[in-house]
Amino acid sequence: MNIFTLPDVGEGLTEADIVSWKVAVGDAVSVNQVFVEIETAKSLVELPCPFAGTVAELHAAEGETLEVGKPLITIDEAAVPAEPQAPDAGRPLPEDPAAQSILGEVTEHSLDDEGEDYDDGAAPAADRSPAAPAEEGVGPLVGSGPKADPARRRRRLDRPTPSTAVREGLKGARERLTPRAPAATAGAVQSRVAASGAAVSGLLGRVLAKPPVRKFAKELGIDLAKVPATGGQGEITREDLLSYQAQREAEQDAAPTFWNSKAGRDDRIDRQAVKGVRKATAKAMVDSAFSAPHVSIFVDVDATRTMEFVQRLKKSKDFEGVKVSPLLILAKAVIWAAARNPNVNASWVETENGAEIQVKHFMNLGIAAATPRGLLVPNIKDAQDLSLKELAIQLNELASTARAGRTSPAEMKDGTLTVTNIGALGIDTGTPIINPGEVAIVAFGTIKQKPWVVSGEVIPRWITTLGGSFDHRVVDGDLSARFMADVAAIMEEPALLLD
């Protein structure tokens, strides 16, 4: 018996929740087969099995929280199932005497499509050296080696051509051995007849209603087949529709809603356990809010040229098949502005000799992503080294992975600066909380047309609002203002990225 304990799939994790078992007791498992899905404080993780054998015991139920190092699954290696043989392995050849005799005669010849015998274009048989004897117990390798070049093949006249009887016998053997499609059964014929009858019945059983009534039913969203008919000869009338609609509205009013689905006062409270990503996010946000003194500033930006630039990228052949959005330009703007204001890409670290500021000469750009499991902040490693197209691809992969709940702990580790796209939800701006271990975060508001003054004239422009929160221990008012002004400058004129 081998007992596999819950491993630490991230750095410093102490527990995980069992989301779903992929195997059950008695199932056969192989090495590296996924046997369980767990949720840690950082992500969903599928664990591969380190042993092959049969599942003897599952040590936790789905939804249960298990500490790292506790038994997770027991595998009985002694009960490894034998590998199944191929269905045709060891099956003897057909015992048809005619086929056996024909096959025996055909093995004396090598036939092409015309029934003629050719060699491979090499030296004549008399000049060839004899073939090396096969090792004992080892048969010849069939089908190995390069295919003969048809251009070099020549006819051999020193061996007899198979007789007509052999060819006819071979043809008959092939017909006997080739499986044939089963003929249509009586059941299939009956099924087709029944289907035809159902179609005729459907036409004959169509509900009766005049065109104005049918139009009225369509406007109300009523299926005429569900309405009791009171008109002559079973015809549905307008009054029938009104009566049916009144009854339907009464049923809808009496149906339970979110507010009246539970009767008792205590029963009307849903209690949700705080665990996994939600638990980790809550702790991190509290720690950040009460340890780093936040300061937030905002700036309105004319993003019209960013929107035009995005449209040009979408039409470019270089970006064919790549999703492009204004978030791509903002991400590039943040990278560009951080290079001009390095202390926003830093950390405040407490050491034995006192606090120090660690400025990073690399950008692991975090993108806050709202998922069904809660807020995740995966980051793009070394984003400063990526081209605009490479950055777009990374953003798309990051978003799709996060939405699928497959973000790994490594993808959320070592972030240096974060962007949160609250504009995707139609929000103008906000005051985001800094991701732990960082000193800055930029909130990207929605982009919409607003009246804007350009050269003394009020014209409609695409406007957005950027909000930034900063750790005031590292980023003071002057630095935060210069950084946000640089980000805004790129959003107003993306051509600056070419400098």
Q: What's the confidence (pLDDT) of residue 63?
A: 83
Using the predicted structure, report yes or no on whether residue 439 has a pLDDT greater than 50.
yes
DSSP string, 317-340: GGGTT----HHHHHHHHHHHHHHH
Q: Residue 44 in contact with residue 19, Cβ under 8 Å? A: yes
Q: Please indicate, yes or no, whether the overall pTM of this predicted structure exceeds 0.75.
A: no
Give the model's confidence band at 353: pLDDT under 50 very low, under 70 low, under 90 confident, else very high.
confident
* Cα 341 to Cα 484: distance, rounded to the nearest angstrom: 10
CATH of the domain at 239: 4.10.320.10
**48 falls within a domain:** yes
Q: Are residues 351 and 435 in the same domain?
A: yes
Q: Are residues 249 and 308 in the same domain?
A: no
**43 falls within a domain:** yes
CATH of the domain at 344: 3.30.559.10
**380 falls within a domain:** yes
**188 falls within a domain:** no
Total domains in the fold of the chain? 3
Give pLDDT tens digits for 266-285. Answer: 666 677 777 777 787 788 88
Tell which wins on pLDDT, 316 or 273.
316
* Cα 488 to Cα 121: distance, rounded to the nearest angstrom: 76
Q: One of 59, 109, 294, 472 is an active-site residue; which one?
A: 472
Find the length of the chain: 499
Q: What's the confidence (pLDDT) of residue 461?
A: 96
Using the predicted structure, report yes or no on whether residue 476 has a pLDDT greater than 50.
yes
Q: What's the confidence (pLDDT) of residue 443?
A: 95
Q: Are residues 451 and 312 in the same domain?
A: yes
CATH of the domain at 47: 2.40.50.100
Q: Please, what is the end-to-end C-alpha distance for the chain in angstroms?
A: 65
**349 falls within a domain:** yes
Residues 6 or more apart whose CB falls under 8 angstroms from that of 161 comprise 109, 115, 116, 117
The per-residue pLDDT of the chain, averaged, comes to: 78
DSSP-derived secondary structure letter, 445: -
Q: What's the confidence (pLDDT) of residue 351?
A: 86
Q: Are residues 231 and 371 in the same domain?
A: no
What is the span of the domain harbouring residue 247?
Answer: 212-253
Q: What's the confidence (pLDDT) of residue 354?
A: 85
Q: Are residues 406 and 460 in the same domain?
A: yes
Using the predicted structure, report yes or no on whether residue 10 has a pLDDT greater than 90.
no
Is 472 considered catalytic here? yes
Q: What's the confidence (pLDDT) of residue 189?
A: 52
Q: Are residues 243 and 318 in the same domain?
A: no
Least confident of 13-22, 181-190, 221-230: 181-190
The single residue listed with the structure tokens 């078992």 is 21
> Of the residues 64, 79, 94, which one is the last residue of a structural domain?
79
* Cα 18 to Cα 59: distance, rounded to the nearest angstrom: 10
Angstrom distances, CA of residue 116 to CA of 99, 107, 308, 311 = 20, 14, 71, 66
Using the predicted structure, report yes or no on whether residue 138 has a pLDDT greater than 70.
no
Using the predicted structure, report yes or no on whether residue 340 has a pLDDT greater than 50.
yes
Q: Are residues 361 and 433 in the same domain?
A: yes
Least confident of 16-20, 143-147, 313-317, 452-456: 143-147
* Cα 202 to Cα 325: distance, rounded to the nearest angstrom: 50
Q: Are residues 320 and 447 in the same domain?
A: yes
Q: What's the confidence (pLDDT) of residue 39?
A: 81
Using the predicted structure, report yes or no on whether residue 179 has a pLDDT greater than 50.
yes
Structure tokens at 170: 């071979």
